[in-house]
Amino acid sequence: MQRLFFALLIVLTTALASPAMAEPDQQRQNDLLHLLKHDCGSCHGMRLEGGLGPALKPEKLQHWDAKQLAVTILYGRPGTPMPPWRPFLSEEEAIWLANQLKQGVQP
Ligand code: HEC
């Protein structure tokens, strides 16, 4: 299961590798930050300092690039409580969120 997941991670990361991806507009960015605080925050902490899920602070996320994080956000981590957000988020939105996390957003 774990090995399959990492194979999938690589395939999906490559699929997301389009450099000219548009950012979500301002209204959608506000919605995404709201989601980050209230939905992601329910597991990762309202200040993203960790809870049921790990802290999502830049220093903790250094070893992942934004696309890898976006894949985790979109598809979850099978076998853990991290759920897939694909039904609610586009790839662009997941990458935008991942970049916000890597830059140290405080929702
Ligand atoms: C039901 C609880 C839960 C919710 C809600 C949740 N997560 Fe998670 N998340 C987890 C857990 C648990 C892990 C750790 C998985 C593991 O062990 O690899 C995780 C892992 C992650 C990781 C990888 C962190 C790392 O250091 O490897 C990211 C990024 C992440 N979540 C982002 C999000 C975002 C963004 C949202 C909201 C859109 C979200 N999560 C919502 C439980 C949750």
pLDDT at 88: 96
Name all domains of the chain by residue range, CATH numbers in brackets: 2-11+25-103 (1.10.760.10)
Q: Enter the pTM of the model.
A: 0.86
Chain centroid to Cα 8, Å, comes to 16
Q: How confident is the model at residue 74 (pLDDT cuts 50, 70, 90)?
A: very high
Q: Say yes or no to pLDDT of 86 above 80.
A: yes
Choose the residue to mutate in 9, 43, 103 for probing ligand 1, maximizing ligand atoms within 8 Å of C-beta.
43
40-78 burial code (b ≥16 CB/10 A, e <16): bbeebbeebeeeebeebbeeebeeeebbbbbbbbbbbee
Alpha carbon distance 36, 44 (integer Å): 9
Choose the residue to mutate in 32, 42, 44 for probing ligand 1, maximizing ligand atoms within 8 Å of C-beta.
44
Percentage, residues of the chain above pLDDT 90: 77
Q: What is the pLDDT of residues 15-50, one digit of tens each?
A: 776 556 788 999 999 999 999 999 999 999 999 999
Q: How confident is the model at residue 8 (pLDDT cuts 50, 70, 90)?
A: confident
Q: What is the rounded average pLDDT for all residues in the chain?
A: 91
Ligand 1 pocket list (CB less than 6 A): 35, 39-40, 42-44, 52-54, 56, 60-61, 69, 72-73, 77, 80-83, 85, 97
Dist. CA 53 → ligand 1 center (Å): 5
Instruction: Give the single-character DSSP code of 25.
Output: P
Which amino acid residue places its CA nearest to atom 2 of ligand 1? Answer: 43
